[in-house]
Structure 1
Amino acid sequence: MFDIHELNASDNTLLAYLQNQPPDALAKVAQSVSPEVKQIISQNIQNLVGMLPPQHFNISITTDRENLAGLLGSAMMTGYFLKQMETRMQLDHSFSTHAHLEDEV
């Protein structure tokens, strides 16, 4: 995806912007995400870190700050992409419904 070691807040305006956001602003963005998008992101993260049935395995994941930041960054980018696609899907549906109604008139 991307190398977090190459990212520097002084070189990356998006990273700097995100780091300067208050937690409540980020929470509001997270609340606006649909359950479908949350499910896809959850599945994506589970696939990235591996998914073993917890009833049969005592799973512990250890990582460093940089790798965790990379994982979170990847999840954020996936979320933004999915939110844009969800918006596009809703617009396509609205336009097709509107066009269908015009055809009936």
Structure 2
Amino acid sequence: MNQESNRSQNNIFNEQTNQSNGLWQYVQSLNPETIARLSQPESGEVFQVMEKNIIGLLGNLPGENFDISINTSRESLGKLLASAMISGYFLRNAEQRMQFEQQLEHSKE
């Protein structure tokens, strides 16, 4: 039964992967400069918030005093990555909205 369960889980994963291939193919078609630009936050504030969020998810032990090693499963690592990406998208949208509102205020003056 374990083998059947594993096969079923693998089939579900493969189906989900095939459904998301459009996005993956799009990302692969981007040139390296575009990917690098999209991967970097525009402001230091966003970077700091993302860093604090990930540290909060992983735990807050200072690396200089401890030899830290994190072991996790593929599924848990995927969830961590998804959480970080969602936070990043949210923060980027908030940053863009703030910039838009600031530009709108300046245009009224």
Deviation at 1:64, TM superposition (A): 1.2
Q: What secondary structure, in the 3-state scheme, does the structure 2 residue paired with 1:9 have?
A: helix
Task: State how many pairs are aligned.
Answer: 92
Deviation at 1:34, TM superposition (A): 2.6
2:9 paired with 1:9: no
Structure 1: stretches of 5+ with no match in the other structure? 1-5
Q: 1:88-103 maps to which residues of 2 (within 5 A)?
A: 88-99=97-108, 101=109
Letter in 2 for 1:68: L
Which shows bigger deviation, 67-76 or 53-62? 53-62
Question: Where does residue 84 of structure 1 map in the other structure?
Answer: 93
**Structural RMSD (CA):** 2.3
Q: 1:69-80 maps to which residues of 2 (within 5 A)?
A: 69-80=78-89
Question: In the aligned structure 1, how far is the partner of 2:106 from the partner of 2:39?
Answer: 29
Question: In the aligned structure 1, how far is the partner of 2:78 from the partner of 2:22?
Answer: 15
Question: In the aligned structure 1, how far is the partner of 2:81 from the partner of 2:65?
Answer: 27
Q: What secondary structure, in the 3-state scheme, does the structure 1 residue paired with 2:17 have?
A: coil
Deviation at 1:42, TM superposition (A): 1.0
2:50 paired with 1:41: yes
Letter in 1 for 2:75: E
Question: Where does residue 30 of structure 1 map in the other structure?
Answer: 39
Return the structure number with greater relative CO, CA threshold 8 A, min gap 6: 1
Identity %: 37
Could you tell me the TM-score, scaled by structure 1's length? 0.71
Q: Deviations over 1:74-93 (max 9, x none)?
A: 11111111111100000111
Structure having the higher helix fraction is: 2
Structure 1 69/26 Cα, relative in aligned 2: closer, same or farther at 3 Å? farther
